[in-house]
Every structure is written in C-alpha cells, then in structure tokens.
C-alpha cells in the first residue's frame, strides 16, 4: 500500500501507537504520517 492509498483509506495513523516501526514511520511511532519525532530521539539514534 502506498502512503497516498493509506491516507485515502483513512488508516494512515493506525500504526502510530503500536510500539513498532512500520509503514512509513521514521522511528517507532513517529515521522512519516505520524507526529514528528523528537529531535533528542533522532540525535540519539544516529
């Protein structure tokens, strides 16, 4: 499924609270269609 298909289906946020990095998330439950990742979390992941 593409990001646009997920948005069109209304389920683009379904993965944002599951504790798993999936879909188009940048990190676990953040980035992509989810809320932005905290800068401190991104910096610690590098």
Our count of domains for the chain comes to: 1
The answer to whether 42 and 25 are in contact (CB under 8 A) is: no
First to last CA, the chain: 28
pLDDT at 25: 86
pTM of the model: 0.52
Look at residue 10 and give its three-state secondary structure: coil
pLDDT in tens, 4-46: 776 676 655 557 888 888 888 888 888 888 889 887 555 555 5
Residue 34: CB partners within 8 Å, gap ≥ 6?
13, 15, 16, 25
The answer to whether 27 and 45 are in contact (CB under 8 A) is: yes
What is the extent of the structural domain holding 8?
A: 1-46
pLDDT at 33: 82
């Amino acid at each position: 499924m593409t990001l646009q298909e997920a948005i069109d289906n209304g389920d683009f946020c379904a993965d944002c609270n599951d504790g798993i990095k999936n879909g188009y998330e940048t990190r676990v439950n953040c980035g992509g269609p989810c809320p932005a990742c905290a800068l401190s979390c991104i910096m610690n992941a590098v």
